[in-house]
Structures are given as structure tokens and as C-alpha cells.
Amino acid sequence: MQLFIMRHGEAKNFVEQGCHDDSQRALTTQGELEAKMMSSWLQKMQVTPSHVFVSPYVRAQQTCAITTSLMNTVITTVDFITPEGDAKQVHDFIDGWCSEQQTAVEQEKIEAEKSLLIISHMPLVSYLVAQLTQSVQAPIFATAGIAHIDYDSEKMHGRLIGLVSPSDLC
């Protein structure tokens, strides 16, 4: 399975936002542009995940809406993929989801999922890539950056293919 892990686009700081609730921070105009750029990149790469898991935080939800606007995908908000989320818990969740998908494929003769997109935050996205690839180094994500992992759900780990950010596309 091809796994794509995305950090949300640039968000307003607390002063701009006018509130101190991190979960309510919205995207800036730049963040919206970043999400649009990465959506175009996903389309160019012919990445069409049938499922997206997204953080409940406003900036991640906005990034998801922009990024998936031209995709036919199921979007599920997952309350534990927040900045403070536990990478091991998310890894276990992905493995459980993959197992359920494999069972459905075997029992119902449906087509296997080819890709999955997760939209969340730093530092979770960095720790998650390290967890999924069994790496000692966690990559640093630019806003709206996407890590591509070739994930083997039977072995429950993958290989980092690359990390792309909006600045790479300019």
C-alpha cells in the first residue's frame, strides 16, 4: 500500500487568530495555497486515496477539504491524530485498518486499497514516519509537506520513498 502522510498548511498564529485554543487555528492564505499546490501534485502523481484520516483540528480539516476537493474519497476524522498524538497508537490504528481492508478483500472479492492519506500535525507526522519506517531519524515536515511511504501491511512497516513540500514544486 502507498501511504501518504501530510502536515497541514500554514496556520495563523495565536495573535492573528485572536484566540488561544490551538485546535481552532485556521489556515492562512499561504496555507490554503500550499494545500492547493499539494493537491495538484497528488493529482499529477495520480494519487487517489480511497480513504483519508484527518485530525479534528481546524487547520487540518481545512487542508483536507482543499486537498481532497477533486478526489472521490472517504474522509474520517480521527481524534487522536493531533499534535500530541502517539505515533505508536496511530501505527497500530493503520495496521488494524489495513487488516480490516484485507479481510474485506478476501471475503467480498473487492479491490484492495492502493493508497491511504493521513493529514495531521508536527510533531506527530515526523514521529509517525519514523515509527512506520523503523527509522531512528524523524524527518522535519514543511507546512503541507507530504511523506510517501511504500507500506507493507503484512510486515507492518514500510520504506520512505520521499518527502515533498510546496517549496519543492516552485
Looking up residue 77, the CATH number of its domain turns out to be 3.40.50.1240
Q: Is the peptide bond before 123 cis (omega within 30 degrees of 0)?
A: yes
pTM across the whole model: 0.94
- Which residue, among 142, 140, 158, has the nearest Cα to 150 in the 3D structure? 158
Q: Which three cell numbers stand for residue 148?
A: 510517501
- 84-100 pLDDT, tens digit per residue, is 999 999 999 999 999 88
Q: Can you give the residue range of the structural domain that contains 9?
A: 2-168
Mind listing the pLDDT tens digit of every residue in the chain (170 residues)? 999 999 999 999 988 777 789 999 999 999 999 999 999 999 999 999 989 999 999 999 999 999 999 899 999 999 999 999 999 999 999 999 998 888 877 777 666 668 999 999 999 999 999 999 999 899 999 999 999 999 999 999 999 999 999 999 98
C-alpha cell at 64: 483536507
Q: How many domains would you assign to the chain? A: 1
CA distance 28 to 49: 25
Cβ(119)–Cβ(64) below 8 Å: yes
